[in-house]
Amino acid sequence: MFSKILIANRGEIALRIIRACKEMGIRTVAIYSQADRDSLHVRFADEAICIGQASASSSYLNIPAVISAAEIADVEAIHPGYGFLAENPHFAEICESCKITFIGPTPENIRLMGDKMLARTTMHKCGLPIIEGSASIIKNKEEALKIANKIGYPVIIKAAAGGGGKGMRICHNDITLASSLMTAQAEAEANFGNPSIYIEKYIENPRHIEIQVLADKYGHAVHLFERDCSIQRRHQKLVEESPSVAVDHKLRKRLGEMALRAVKTIGYVSAGTVEFLLDQNNNFYFMEMNTRIQVEHPVTETVVGIDLIKEQIRIAAGEKINLKQEEIKINGAALECRINAEDVENDFSPCPGKIETLNLPGGPGVRVDTHVYPGYTISPYYDSLIAKLITHGRDRNEAIQKMKRALEEFIIEPVKTTIPFHRQLMNNALFLRGEISTHFLQDMLKEKIEAEVQ
C-alpha cells in the first residue's frame, strides 16, 4: 500500500479523497491555487503546496506544476478526482514515466474511451447493443445523407472527441442535416481539436442509466448496479438515484453483464462507469464509458456499502478486489441532490460570493459531501458545485422524504443555490412517480415559465 498520495484536485472531491486516505493510514499532499488558500482540502491534508494562480489552466490543469509538486513531496501516487486531469491520457502517461502511480485506469483505457466512435465500434464488436448509425467517421455530406435516410430521421450528430453532450446536434430532415454537418464539424474542431463526427438515430425521451464498475489488475471485475441520472439540465446532472425505478431485476442483470463485458474486452482497470441510454420500450444502448470516479459515486456507495475511493486506491496499489459479485446487494434506495451556487431564476447562472450563514442537515440517512463552511468565499474560477446532499432510505419514498426534510434544514445565505429548485422537485408529481427522462427538467422548467405568464 502507498504511504503518501497527492490529490490533484480541489473542492469536495479533494476532501473526500483525503478522508479515504486518512482512514487507510495514507499521508496526503494537497495542491492548491492562490484562490484556494483558505480551502479545507489545504487544511486537512498533511502537506499542501501552492501550484499557481487562480485559473485552472495555471494550477489544477498545469501538468508540469502538478508533477513538480508530486516530485517535491515525494509521493508514490496521484489521485486525480474528477474533471481537470482525470481523463487526460497524456497526464496518466507522464505519471507512469515519472514512476508515480496514477490512481485510475491505464492511458490506453482512457484514450480508447475518449474516442467516442472507437468506443462505439469496440463495444459493438464485443456484443453490446449500440444505437443504429454510422460505422465510421462521416467523410462527406453525401455519406451523411445516405446514412440518415437509411436509419430515418430524427438523427443526432456527435463529435468523436466529444462526450457528455458537448457538440451534439439533432436533425429532422435532409436540409437541417446538410447545414448542421458543417457547423458541427467546425464546433468539434474548435472545442476538441478534432473535426471528426458521426451520426446516430436520435432516441427521444431516453433515460440515462449508468453502471458502476470496479476492475483490478488481475482481470477480476464486479459491477455495483445502476444509477439513474436522467434529471439533467444542459448535460449537467442535478439529481441521481439508485436503484432506477425503470430497471427491474432482469434488466439489471443484463446491464451488469454488459458493463462487465465492456470492462473485460478492453482490459479496464480501476473504478469506471458504463453509460447506457434506455429508450421508452426499455431497450438499452451503450453510450460511452467514463474512465474516472464520478461526482455521483456516493449514491452507489450508499446502497451497496462499498467505499469506492478506497477500492480505487487499493486497485492502484496492486491489490486484488476482495468482492464477490453475488455478495454485492442493493440495500434500500439513495438519492443525491447537487447543490450548486447558481441562480435558478436566472437560467442557473453561477453565483459566486461569501457564505455568511451555513447550516448543514444531518440525522439518520443523511450524508453531505462539501468543502464549504461559514465565511467561505465561493470562487468564480471553478465549477459551481458546493455540496452534494445524499439520503438513504429503505425505499425510494423514504429517501425522498429524508431529502425533503434535509433540504428544509439546509441553509446557505446569502449565496443563491439550487436548494429551492430541489425542494420544488421533491414535490413534483412526475418525479415522485419516477416518471423521468432526460427531457423531464426542460419540461418542468418550461411549465414553470408558462405558469408565471398566465
Interface contacts to ligand MV4, rule CB under 6 A: 131, 156, 164-165, 200-203, 206, 208, 232, 235, 275, 277, 287-288, 438
Whichever of 231 and 333 has its CB closer to ligand MV4, that residue is 231
Whichever of 280 and 325 has its CB closer to ligand MV4, that residue is 280
CB of 402 to ligand MV4, least distance (A): 25
Q: In this structure, are residues 406 and 361 in contact, taking their beta carbons and an 8 Å threshold?
A: yes
Q: How far apart are CA 386 and CA 339, in angstroms?
A: 6
CB of 303 to ligand MV4, least distance (A): 21
Q: How far apart are CA 12 and CA 4, in angstroms?
A: 20
CB of 414 to ligand MV4, least distance (A): 32
CB of 408 to ligand MV4, least distance (A): 29
CB of 344 to ligand MV4, least distance (A): 18
Q: List, in sequence order, the alpha helices (H) in 171-267.
A: 174-192, 249-266
Report DSSP state, residue 74.
T
Q: How far apart are CA 94 and CA 112, in angstroms?
A: 17
Q: List, in sequence order, the alpha helices (H) in 81-173.
A: 89-97, 107-114, 116-125, 141-151
Is residue 27 part of the annotated active site? The answer reads: no
Whichever of 240 and 301 has its CB closer to ligand MV4, that residue is 240
Q: How far apart are CA 344 and CA 139, in angstroms?
A: 41
CB atoms inside a 10 Å sphere around CB 312: 23
Q: Name which of 253, 258, 260, 266 is nearest 220 in CA terms.
A: 260
Please provide residue 391's backbone torsions phi and psi, each rounded to the nearest 5 degrees.
Answer: -120, 155
Residue 8 CA, distance from chain mean position? 17
CB of 306 to ligand MV4, least distance (A): 25
Residue 215, C-alpha cell as written in the block? 476492475
Pairing, β 4-7 against β 27-33: parallel
Q: How far apart are CA 17 and CA 78, in angstroms?
A: 11
Whichever of 154 and 332 has its CB closer to ligand MV4, that residue is 154
Whichever of 277 and 415 has its CB closer to ligand MV4, that residue is 277
Q: How far apart are CA 23 and CA 44, in angstroms?
A: 13
> Which member of 111, 292, 314, 396 is catalytic?
292
CA dihedral of residues 369, 375, 377, 383 (deg, nearest 10): 10
Whichever of 283 and 349 has its CB closer to ligand MV4, that residue is 283
Query: Amino acid identity, residue 85?
Result: L
CB of 136 to ligand MV4, least distance (A): 16
CA atoms within 13 A on the CB side of 331: 11
Alpha-carbon torsion (297, 300, 302, 304), positive or negative: negative
Whichever of 125 and 235 has its CB closer to ligand MV4, that residue is 235
Catalytic residues: 292
